[in-house]
Structure 1
C-alpha cells in the first residue's frame, strides 16, 4: 500500500509540472480520488482494530491532528519564509503575490478568514467556491474559479484543499465505521447520484465535480467498504503468489493508466480496481517495513510539492522541471519526515499503547 500511495503522490507532482519524460500515470483528479478510497480503508481499519475501546474516539481525533497538522504547519511556515526571502531578496513575492496585491484592499473580516484557512486547513475547499469582490469581500459564486480573483489564490498550500475534505471525513468516520454495509452502500450511491446530477447540470467541472464534499464522500465510503471486504477475506487462505499478481496488475494500471484505451470507462475501472485490490495489497504489504517507509513520504510529498515547483521553476526555468522538482520534493519530504513527522509518530504510538 505504501508504494501505491507514493506513486499517487508522484502522479500529482508530475501533473503539476508536466510529463516526466512522457510519463503522466493517472490524472491528478483521479489520483486524489484513489487517495480518498485508501483513506476510507485506513480509517475504517484503525477505528475497528485500533481505536475501538472507551475513550478511543477522542484519541483517534487527537492522533489524526498530530499526524496532519505539525507537518502541515512546518510546510506552511517554510513556504511563508521562502516567499519572504524571495520578496525582499529577489523582488518577487512567489506564493505571497495575491496577498501583496490585495492586502490593503481586503476587508478585515475577509483577511482574517483567509489567514484562518491557511492556519487551520478547515474550509480551504470552500475557497474554491468563492472569489474576492472589488470591495475586498469574500463572495460565493458557482463559477468562482473563472472570476478575476478566486479566493484560493490566497492559499500558500493550495493543494491542501484535499486535506480539508479529509478533516470533514475524519469528523464523520467514527460514526460511519459503525454503520451497516447496506447504509454505507446507500450513502455512497446517493453521493454518486448527486455527482451524476451535477454532470447533467450547467455547473463548471471544477470545483463542483472534484472539490465538493457531498460528491467526493462516496470515494471515502468505498474505502470503508473495501475494509469490509478485507475483513471478510481474513479467514480465507490466499496464496502469496495471488497477492503478488493482484499487486502487479494494480500497480501496472496506475503507472500505465495513460496508455489504457478509453476515457470514462478506464476511470471507472481504476476506482473499481482500487476497491477490489486494496484488501489484497494490504494483506501483502502490511508487514513490509520498506513499503511503509516509502508510503510515509506520500503526505509530505503532496503538501510540499507546490512550493518546491515554484522555487525550482524560478531558479531553473521549465527545462527538466518535472525531474528536478520531483527529486527536490522527495528530498525535502525525507528531511521533513526525519525532523518533524518521525519524532511525533513515536509519541502518537506511545499514546495508543498507554490507552490500553
Structure 2
C-alpha cells in the first residue's frame, strides 16, 4: 500500500523545518525579525508533523506485520537500520564542524562531548536535557522519536480502536500539560535554560502529538467513525481546559508551557484525513514526494549546509528596505539553499539510508528463515 500523501506530507514537514531554521540562522534581515518570527511560528511545527506521520505509519506497519513478525525484536531492528546509520554519520560530521568552529583539535571535542557522544550512539540522548541536542543540532527530535519507538509496540496492543486512540491522546494531552505546567514553576528549572527547553522537548509533552497520528490511523486505515459521547466529551473538555488555562490562568500562574504544537498536531491529523480522501496536487506532487523521500537525510544534513552557506551567501539577494522586500529576499535565499540541501541529501539517501535499510531487511529475512528451519527440524 503506497500512500503518496504520507510521503508528500513528510516533504512539507522537512520544507517547513528548513524554512524555520533558515530564519534562525539569520538568513532574514535582523531589522525584520519580529514579522519573520510571526511567520515562522507555524513552520516550527515541522517536527510535530513528522511525529504525527510517524505514529500513523508505525501503527500501519505493525498492523501489516502482526501475523508474520515473531516478536518486538524485528520491529526494533527495522527501526534501528532506518535511523541509526545516517544518524551515526551525522554525529561524525557535526563533531568535525564543532571542532572547526571552536578552532580546536578533534580530540579535544571528543573529550568534551564523551558522555554526549555515548548517549547519542545509544540513541538515548532524549533522556537528558544536557545530551538531547549536544552533538547534532535538532537531534532532540530523533531522541524523542526513539523513546516513542520503545513504547509503540505496547501501545499497538492496547489502542485497538478510534475511541481508545482519542482517549489516549486526550489523557496524554492533559497529563503532559499539567506535568509540564507544574515543573515549569520550579525555580531551579525556570532559571536553567537547558531544563526550560527540555520541558518542551521531552516525551510527556510530545506524546499527545504522536497520539494524533494514531487517531488519524484509525480514521483513515481502519475506517472507524463512531466516537462514544463520553470519549468525545472528555476530549472536548481537555481542549477547552488548555484554551482556558492559556487564556485566563496564565494571568495568575505565569510561565505556562506553549501549546501551539499540541493544537497544530490536531490540525495535522485532520490534514492526513483530508488528504487521504482528496490528495490535492498543491500538496501531493512530484516535488513534495521527492522531498519526503529524502526528508530524514535532509533533516540531519541541512544544519551543516546552512552553517557553510551562511558564510558565503550574501545577506541581500535583492535590496531590502521594507517588510515585503525582506520576505522576498528571505524566500529567494531559502530556494537557493534548497538546492545544495536536496543534492547532498539525495547522495546520503542513496549511499547510506537505502543500503542500511536493505541490509536490515536481509538480516531479518535470514533470522526468520533460520527460525523456520529450526521449527522444521524439531
TM-score band, normalised by shorter chain: 0.5 to 0.7
Which shifted more, 33-42 or 204-213?
Answer: 204-213
CA distance in 1, matches of 2:303, 2:93: 12
**Match for residue 197 of structure 2?**
207
Q: 1:281 aligns with which of 245, 265, 275?
A: 275
SS for the counterpart of 1:189 is helix
- In 2, distance between residues paired with 1:102 and 1:28? 37
Aligned to 1:245: none
Aligned-residue offset at 1:341: 1.6
Asked whether the equivalents of residues 56 and 216 of structure 2 are also in contact (C-alpha less than 8 Å), the reply is: yes
From 156, 163, 170, the equivalent of 2:149 is 170
| Structure 1 partner of 2:207 | 217
Q: TM-score if structure 2 supplies the norm length?
A: 0.64
- Counterpart residue number, 2:20: 15
Alignment of 1:1-356 (within 5 A): 1-18=6-23, 27-81=42-96, 83=97, 93-94=100-101, 97=102, 103=108, 111-124=113-126, 126=128, 129-130=129-130, 154-155=134-135, 157-180=136-159, 181=164, 182-183=167-168, 185-197=170-182, 204=190, 206-233=196-223, 270-282=264-276, 290=286, 293-319=290-316, 321-349=333-361, 355=368
Compute the displacement of 1:195 (Å): 4.2
Q: Distance in 1 between matches of 2:335 and 2:106?
A: 32
SS at 1:178 equivalent: helix
Once residues 125 and 114 of structure 1 are traced to their aligned partners in structure 2, the CA distance between those partners, rounded to angstroms, is 11
SS class of match (2:211): helix
**Structure number with larger C-alpha Rg:** 2
Range that drifts further, 201-210 or 65-74: 201-210
TM-score (norm 1): 0.67
Unmatched tracts of structure 2, length 5 or more:
1-5, 30-34, 226-257, 318-332, 370-378
Deviation at 1:103, TM superposition (A): 3.8
- Separation of aligned partners in 2, 1:220 and 1:124: 16
- Contact 1:59 1:352 (8 Å CA) reproduced: yes
The size of the alignment, in residue pairs, is: 291
Conserved 8 A contact 1:12-1:27: no
CA-atom RMSD in angstroms? 3.8
